[in-house]
Amino acid sequence: MSLMSIEEAPRAPAPGARPALFALGFRPFYLLAAAFAAVSVPLWVAAQAGWPVPARVDMLWHMHEMVYGFAVAVIVGFLYTAGYNWTRLWTPRGWRLAAIAGVWLAGRAAMLAAPPLAAAAVDAIFLPLAALPLYRVLKQSGNRRNMFLVALLGLLALSNLLYHAATLGWLPLDPLAPVHAAIVLIVAIEAVIGGRVIPMFTANGAPGTRPVQDARVDRTALFLTVLAGAAWTAGLAAPFTAALAMAAAVAQALRLAGWKPWRTLRNPLLWILHLSYAWIPLGFLALALAQYGIVTPSAALHLLTVGSLAGLVIGMITRTALGHTGRPLKAGRAETLMYVLAQGAVLARFAAALAPAARMPWLVLATVCWSGCFLAYLAVYLPRLVAPRPDGREG
């Protein structure tokens, strides 16, 4: 099975009853990620405004939790769901899935309230624990094509360990460096998965469209993206980093242009993916400009996170949830509202980074859009994800 097969549901019910919430990985992890996103960002903005919040809620907490809390939950939920379709072997479900989700939840609570060493220990367990079942099903099925994703989960786990070692004073390392490295890894995951599924979705959802995929452009774009991200993370010379970031921006823009995004304007399930992917080249353009002080590094960072990451997340967690709950792949008014709010969040957050004098009003607006997006997701999809599929299939 290829990575493209992410919307197929298991066809034959397995024996034995289990709660629908833990029938497949996307169900608990998409809900947990959405709920955490809706709550954690307002909590951090409240801290910025001087409101009484837990002492651990600072900039490092915010950056760590957006990456290793929110983003990682979505990635694991997606990979567990896609993993079955690639291999026809079950990824964790039932009590095993509930236990893994419980470890993620314990990590979020620990990072908020536990002593630093205990928080690090609880938080660091999740990624290795989550990666192991995926490795097992890929190995058992001989699916080598997607094994690199397990390696990327391993690198995310390593960067998380480095973050904790730095914050505990065990390493003479800026704690932001491992988080930046993790963001680069996540952008690489977006580039790989996006390059496989977005053209296919476009061809299927926009009749008559033939997206162009060039393996050389794909490889070049991915190579330059990782290289530019590594140069930025390592703090290499500004001219060198700027040149790489500009090259990555051009390569990613050429890649996206081949997918013919202008043909998707009538289909929200498609344009949200194209528009969100466009924040990758724009983010690297901003990263190049940041090397010369034209924009702030924060502006570039949030184009890659609030822009590409969150946009692709809301696009995929609606699409895969529709497919895996037996519903038509069609965005209604609620989904379109989520997509618009996600784009409003990135624009407002970018404005906050560009206009320090008006930072707080823009942050509040970005937070309203961000939380509104994920609260809308919970309102629409919570009843669907805790209920069995109406067609009787498992998944």
User: Which 3-state string (H, E, C) describes 113-133?
Assistant: HCCHHHHHHHHHHHHHHHHHH
Q: What is residue 13's predicted lDDT score, i.e. its pLDDT?
A: 43
Q: What is residue 12's predicted lDDT score, i.e. its pLDDT?
A: 43
126 burial class (0-12, 13-18, 19+ CB within 10 angstroms)? buried
In 3D space, the residue among 3, 9, 1, 4 whose CA is nearest the CA of residue 321 turns out to be 9
Q: For residues 331 and 337, give the distance between their C-alpha atoms in angstroms, rounded to a whole number.
A: 10
Q: What is residue 360's predicted lDDT score, i.e. its pLDDT?
A: 95
Q: Which DSSP string corresponds to 58-108?
A: SHHHHHHIIIIIIIHHHHHHHHHHHHHHHHSSPPS-HHHHHHHHHHHHHHH
* C-alpha distance from residue 150 to each of 22, 79, 167, 301 (Å): 22, 9, 26, 25
335 Cβ contact list (under 8 Å, min separation 6): 268, 269, 318, 380
In 3D space, the residue among 130, 131, 141, 133 whose CA is nearest the CA of residue 87 turns out to be 141
Would you give per-residue pLDDT tens digits along the chain (395 residues)?
Answer: 344 344 444 444 444 456 899 999 999 999 999 999 999 999 999 999 999 998 899 999 999 999 999 999 999 999 999 999 899 899 999 999 999 999 999 999 999 999 999 999 999 999 999 999 999 999 999 999 999 999 999 999 999 999 999 999 999 999 999 999 999 999 999 999 999 999 999 999 988 899 999 999 999 999 999 999 999 999 999 999 999 999 999 999 999 999 999 999 999 999 999 999 999 999 999 999 999 999 999 999 999 999 999 999 999 999 999 998 888 999 999 999 999 999 999 999 999 999 999 999 999 999 999 999 999 999 999 999 999 988 778 77
Amino acid at residue number 156? L
In 3D space, the residue among 149, 84, 74, 126 whose CA is nearest the CA of residue 318 turns out to be 74
Per-residue DSSP letter, 32: H
Q: For residues 234 and 36, give the distance between their C-alpha atoms in angstroms, rounded to a whole number.
A: 30
In 3D space, the residue among 131, 133, 29, 116 whose CA is nearest the CA of residue 64 turns out to be 116
What are the helix (H) ranges across 206-295?
Answer: 215-234, 238-258, 268-290
Angle of helix 72-87 versus helix 94-113 axis, rounded to 10:
160
Number of H helices, E strands in the chain: 14, 0
Q: What is residue 157's predicted lDDT score, i.e. its pLDDT?
A: 98
